């Protein structure tokens, strides 16, 4: 018997077939993004020249013939994307601080402390992850409105400080892998749980906390529903909400819209190339088992 499985190392003609399939399938995966960038750099006359109405697109029309960088400047002049970016980054930073600090505290409680009703509460917490947001949406909206928070960022950031079940789950999984003897040693030395948490557990959990930070960042960057519900002042728009507003106000300005979409998507792609492992690990730990 070969140690290397033949099933996973196929024959040559078989390999060519697989390459052929994969290349054919990756075209629809890649083309939309290429088309986005290419449109963002095209002058209007090129945009209107191809497509179902004009002449059919050729390989050449995939790339802009005359690169028009000024589309980006013009898009920024049409819609204050810079302000939206600042707002989005602000929300990301505050949400990260709130969600990570609160979720790690809660995760430590659930994974390393014993107290009455712990396991039941943990199951309740997991259960809330499956609860559709629509069920609580209206009373929560009313609550924030009655507090006078409508039109401010408070409804978007305050909930972050009360722990996210998803992050708590991720972190408990990680904290459970930390050896209990180490914590016991700290306890015998008379350290308080707070000190053990801050000085032992947190420094050891940097990879898990990095994953959580990435998730909160992505969630906040992409968040559309919250701003849609609570933000009415255009100076407070986030990138996600601003881009949707851009589309509904300037529907035909494709080069500007694609420039804005590129600016909105690019940071995520760059982040992905720097933190590829974290992305994939995060997804497979949450999705797997």
Partner 1 sequence: MSRQKRQQNLIGYLFISPWLIGFSVFTAWPFLQSLWLSFTRYDIISEPKWVGFANYHALFTQDPQFWQSLQVTFTYAAVAVPLGILCGFGLALLLNIRIKGQEIYRTLFYIPSIVPAVATSVIFVWIMNPQIGLLNGLLKTVGIIGPNWLNDPTWSLTSLVLISLWGVGGSMVIYLAGLKDVPLSLYEASLVDGASAWHRLKAITWPFMTPVIFFNLIMGVIGSFQYFTNAFIMTNGGPQDSTLFYSLYLFNRAFRYLDMGYASAMAWILFVIVVGATSILFMTQKKWVQYGNN
The one among 84, 153, 166, 221 contacting partner 1 by CB under 8 A: 221
The one among 115, 123, 179, 188 contacting partner 1 by CB under 8 A: 115
Q: Applying CB under 8 A, does 1 fall inside the site for partner 1?
A: yes
Pick from 229, 230, 256, 260: nearest CA to 243: 260
Q: 28 vs 179, which CB is nearer to partner 1?
A: 28
Q: Applying CB under 8 A, does 10 fall inside the site for partner 1?
A: yes
Question: What is the C-alpha to C-alpha distance for residues 149 and 126, in angstroms, rounded to an integer?
Answer: 29
Q: 165 vs 186, which CB is nearer to partner 1?
A: 165
DSSP H stretches of helix in 5-117: 12-40, 44-49, 70-78, 81-112
The one among 68, 170, 261, 278 contacting partner 1 by CB under 8 A: 261
Segment contacting partner 1 by CB under 8 A, of 44-52, 64-72, 75-83, 204-212? 44-52
Angle between helices 165-175 and 276-287 in degrees, nearest 10: 100
**Rounded least distance, CB 124 to partner 1, Å:** 8
How much of the chain is in helix, strand and coil states, percent to nearest 5?
Answer: 75, 0, 25
Q: For 26, what's the count of Cα atoms within 13 Å in the CB-facing half-sphere?
A: 6
Segment contacting partner 1 by CB under 8 A, of 26-34, 72-80, 174-182, 200-208? 26-34
Segment contacting partner 1 by CB under 8 A, of 20-28, 65-73, 179-187, 200-208? 20-28
Q: Applying CB under 8 A, does 185 fall inside the site for partner 1?
A: no
Pick from 146, 143, 142, 144: nearest CA to 154: 144
Q: Applying CB under 8 A, does 102 fall inside the site for partner 1?
A: yes
User: Within a 10 A sphere around the Cβ of 148, how many other Cβ atoms?
Assistant: 9
User: Within a 10 A sphere around the Cβ of 241, how many other Cβ atoms?
Assistant: 22
Q: Applying CB under 8 A, does 284 fall inside the site for partner 1?
A: yes
Segment contacting partner 1 by CB under 8 A, of 69-77, 99-107, 178-186, 199-207? 99-107
Q: Applying CB under 8 A, does 130 fall inside the site for partner 1?
A: yes
The first and second tokens of residue 97, run together, are 């601080």
Q: Which residue has the tokens 């095209």?
A: 42
The one among 138, 203, 206, 233 contacting partner 1 by CB under 8 A: 138
Question: What is the C-alpha to C-alpha distance for residues 88 and 92, in angstroms, rounded to an integer?
Answer: 6
Segment contacting partner 1 by CB under 8 A, of 64-72, 115-123, 177-185, 205-213? 115-123
Question: Quick check: 259 and 77 in contact, CB under 8 A?
Answer: no
Question: Quick check: 92 and 129 in contact, CB under 8 A?
Answer: no
| Contact letters for partner 1, residues 149-168 (x by CB under 8 A) | ----------x-xxx-x--x
Q: Tell me the number of residues near partner 1 by CB under 8 A.
A: 102
């Amino acid at each position: 018997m070969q140690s290397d499985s033949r099933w996973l190392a196929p024959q040559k003609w078989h390999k060519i077939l697989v390459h052929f399939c994969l290349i054919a399938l990756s075209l629809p995966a890649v083309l939309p993004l290429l088309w986005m960038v290419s449109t963002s750099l095209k002058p209007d006359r090129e945009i209107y020249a191809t497509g179902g109405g004009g002449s059919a697109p050729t390989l050449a029309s995939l790339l802009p013939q005359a690169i028009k960088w000024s589309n980006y400047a013009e898009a920024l002049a049409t819609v204050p994307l810079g302000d939206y970016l600042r707002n989005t980054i602000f929300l990301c930073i505050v949400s990260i601080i709130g969600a990570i600090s609160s979720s790690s505290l809660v995760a430590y409680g659930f994974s390393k402390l014993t107290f009455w009703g712990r396991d039941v509460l943990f199951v309740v917490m997991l259960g809330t992850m499956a609860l559709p947001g629509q069920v609580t949406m209206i009373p929560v909206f009313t609550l924030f409105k009655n507090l006078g928070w409508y039109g401010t960022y408070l409804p978007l950031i305050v909930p972050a400080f009360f722990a996210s079940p998803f992050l708590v789950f991720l972190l408990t999984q990680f904290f459970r892998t930390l050896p209990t003897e180490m914590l016991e040693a700290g306890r015998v030395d008379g350290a308080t749980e707070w000190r053990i948490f801050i000085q032992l557990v947190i420094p050891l959990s940097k990879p898990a906390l990095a994953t959580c930070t990435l998730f909160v960042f992505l969630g906040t960057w992409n968040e559309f529903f919250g701003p849609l519900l609570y933000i009415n002042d255009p100076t407070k728009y986030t990138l996600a909400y601003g881009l949707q507003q851009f589309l509904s106000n300037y529907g035909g300005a494709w080069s500007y819209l694609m420039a804005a979409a590129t600016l909105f998507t690019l940071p995520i792609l760059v982040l992905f190339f720097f933190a590829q492992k974290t992305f994939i690990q995060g997804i497979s730990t949450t999705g797997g088992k």
